[in-house]
Amino acid sequence: MAERISEAEHAVMEALWERSPLTATEVCDTVCRTRDWSLPTVKTLLSRLVQKGAIETRPDGRRFLYSPLLERADYVGEESQRLVDRLFGGRAAPLFAHLAEAEALTPEDIAEIEALLKELKP
């Protein structure tokens, strides 16, 4: 995907990844209360996401239904790589070192990372 998804657009994408297709009103029912947004705000975000090619829309009577075109796993992969590239020179090891130093990794996180590394090791 060429264009970045903003934090606000990401909230809308999460609603659509969780369940779709949804109307703008249904998206608002999911995100508006926690974000203090209105329906026009959600409609603006949906429009932007359509323009970016992240979601598609199809008419359903007098309303539109929205569905993601971008898979969540693909988005997470792209964003993770951008983070590693931008902040850690494209290397994941410094990211893990930073998280360990900041005590952001729980023992469960460390065990999960170790298991993943064992799977990846030839």
Q: Quote the pLDDT of residue 120.
A: 83
The CATH number that applies at residue 39 is 1.10.10.10
Q: What range does the domain containing 65 cover?
A: 1-91
Is residue 63 situated within a structural domain?
yes
Say which DSSP state 23 is in: -
pLDDT band at 112 (very low <50, low <70, confident <90, very high): confident
pLDDT band at 13 (very low <50, low <70, confident <90, very high): very high
Comparing C-alpha atoms, which of 10, 41, 7, 81 is closest to residue 18? 10
CB atoms within 10 A of CB 16: 23
Is residue 104 situated within a structural domain?
no
Q: Quote the pLDDT of residue 32.
A: 96
Is residue 107 situated within a structural domain?
no
Comparing C-alpha atoms, which of 3, 33, 62 is closest to residue 15? 33
Is residue 27 situated within a structural domain?
yes
pLDDT band at 64 (very low <50, low <70, confident <90, very high): very high
Is residue 22 situated within a structural domain?
yes
Q: What's the number of domains the chain is made of?
A: 1
Residue 43: pLDDT over 80? yes
Comparing C-alpha atoms, which of 34, 72, 3 is closest to residue 42? 34
Is residue 114 situated within a structural domain?
no
pLDDT band at 2 (very low <50, low <70, confident <90, very high): low
Is residue 97 situated within a structural domain?
no
Mean pLDDT of 62-76: 94
Question: Can you give the pTM of this predicted structure?
Answer: 0.79
Residue 11: pLDDT over 70? yes
